[in-house]
């Protein structure tokens, strides 16, 4: 098995290292990742400036671009003759839940892989970020390996074009505290304060964007499309489960076409 991995926290991020070490026990793994943090850049591509690569002593390839750049470059130039079984991104430092996937570089890189027909999984550790999370990253990486080896998820993903599996691993003290896996929908919670206005030391107005959510309510997390009672992703991780959200892109619902046709044509 051959796997390409990337992230949006940068090539030196502990989550990337943990993912590489775990996946290397079951596959040949190539790493192409941004040379610095690129959180929040979604699936942006650098089309107005050249990209440069640098191979680290670890064998990882660092790119002066976005996560999507890394996948785009890897599949079309760096490893054009390699048939990757999947692309896995992460392990992201912090959750990617609900509408956050629209902004996530971790998710955006996985989406880029799917656009080239490669099964893709985006992975995140809820609460990750502090130095003491090294053990949690290893636990999360182990759970990702179990997902690949204990289930037929890769075969399923190969038959789901334009889908990305968005995985969030709960922040727990030990692996045996994880209660299992849940198939989930993307939740939606209003952002508590989208913009923080501050004044810098020179007296200039400055603005810090935030995705921090309000507390969840039942109404926020109700799924109006599925006929199956399903937890939302944030509900699942809060309850101690690994959240698996299949997210479909490049999709225009037929019902929407019919509704608009009746109204504007």
What is the average pLDDT value for the chain, to the nearest integer? 88
Radius of gyration of the chain (CA): 19
Q: Pairing between strand 53-55 and 61-63?
A: antiparallel
Residue-wise pLDDT for 140-157, tens only, equals 999 999 999 999 999 999
Q: Is 260 exposed, middle or buried (0-12, 13-18, 19+ CB in 10 A)?
A: exposed
Residue-wise pLDDT for 1-57, tens only, equals 999 999 999 999 999 999 999 999 999 999 999 999 998 889 999 999 999 999 999
What's the pTM? 0.86
* Averaged pLDDT, 191-203: 84
Query: What's the pLDDT band for 107 if we cut at 50, 70, 90?
Result: very high
Triad 113, 23, 79: Cα angle to 5°: 40
Q: Which of 10, 89, 102 is nearest to 54 (CA)?
A: 10
Query: Which of 156-160, 189-193, 194-198, 250-254 has the highest average model confidence (pLDDT)?
Result: 156-160
Whether the Cβ atoms of residue 242 and residue 169 lie closer than 8 Å to each other: yes
Architecture of domain 2-186+227-251: 3-Layer(aba) Sandwich (3.40)
CATH 3.40.1210.10 in the chain: give the residue spans. Answer: 2-186+227-251
Instruction: Report the SS3 class of residue 10.
Output: coil
Residue-wise pLDDT for 204-229, tens only, equals 988 878 777 666 544 444 444 554 55
Whether the Cβ atoms of residue 87 and residue 119 lie closer than 8 Å to each other: yes
Q: Pairing between strand 195-199 and 181-183?
A: unpaired
Q: Pairing between strand 195-199 and 205-209?
A: antiparallel
User: Which of 99-108, 126-135, 146-155 shows the lowest per-residue confidence on average (mean pLDDT)?
Assistant: 126-135
């Amino acid at each position: 098995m051959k796997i390409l991995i990337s992230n949006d926290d940068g090539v030196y991020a502990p989550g990337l290292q943990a993912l590489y070490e775990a996946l290397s026990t079951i596959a040949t793994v190539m790493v192409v990742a941004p040379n610095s943090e690129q959180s929040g850049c979604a699936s942006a591509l650098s089309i107005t400036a050249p990209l440069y690569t640098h191979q680290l002593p670890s064998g990882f390839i660092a790119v002066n671009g976005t996560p999507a750049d890394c996948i785009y470059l890897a599949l079309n130039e760096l490893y054009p003759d390699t048939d990757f079984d999947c692309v896995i991104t992460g392990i992201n430092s912090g959750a990617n839940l609900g509408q956050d996937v629209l902004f996530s570089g971790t998710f955006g890189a996985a989406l880029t892989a799917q656009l080239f027909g490669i099964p893709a999984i985006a992975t995140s550790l809820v609460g990750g970020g502090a130095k003491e999370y090294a053990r949690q990253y290893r636990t999360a990486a182990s759970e990702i390996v179990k997902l690949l080896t204990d289930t037929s998820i890769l075969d399923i993903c190969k038959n789901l074009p334009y889908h990305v599996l968005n995985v969030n691993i709960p922040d727990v003290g030990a692996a045996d505290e994880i209660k299992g896996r849940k198939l989930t929908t993307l939740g939606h919670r209003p952002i508590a304060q989208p913009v923080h206005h501050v004044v810098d030391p020179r007296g200039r107005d400055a603005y810090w964007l935030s995705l921090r959510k309000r507390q969840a309510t039942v109404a926020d997390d109700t799924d109006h499309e599925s006929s199956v009672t399903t937890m939302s992703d944030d509900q699942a991780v809060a309850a101690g489960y690994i959240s698996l959200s299949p997210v479909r892109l490049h999709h225009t619902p037929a019902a929407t076409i019919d509704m608009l046709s009746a109204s504007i044509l």
